[in-house]
């Protein structure tokens, strides 16, 4: 999420092939039944993950 959906930059950051990133993002998108190409969806997911990371219960 922090790399704004860039498969190439994400692959470099994780040290994996860009196709692996694409496959994983596609799988996550299917599991969540949402469009991770939508910036609004990515923003909501980013906030949710930040909230969980801080241990703050959702409102």
One-character DSSP codes across 23-50: HHHHHHHHHHTS-TTSHHHHHHHHHHHH
Which of 43, 5, 45 minimizes the C-alpha distance to 21? 5
How high is the pLDDT of residue 54? 84
- pTM for this predicted structure: 0.68
Farthest CA pair distance, the chain:
38
pLDDT in tens, 2-59: 777 788 999 999 999 999 999 998 999 999 999 988 989 999 999 998 898 887 666 6
Q: Where are the domains of the chain?
A: 7-54
């Amino acid at each position: 999420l922090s790399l704004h959906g860039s498969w190439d930059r994400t692959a470099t950051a994780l040290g994996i092939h860009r196709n692996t990133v694409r496959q994983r993002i596609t799988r996550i998108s299917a599991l969540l039944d949402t469009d991770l190409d939508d910036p609004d969806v990515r923003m909501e997911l980013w906030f949710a993950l930040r909230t969980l990371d801080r241990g703050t219960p959702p409102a």
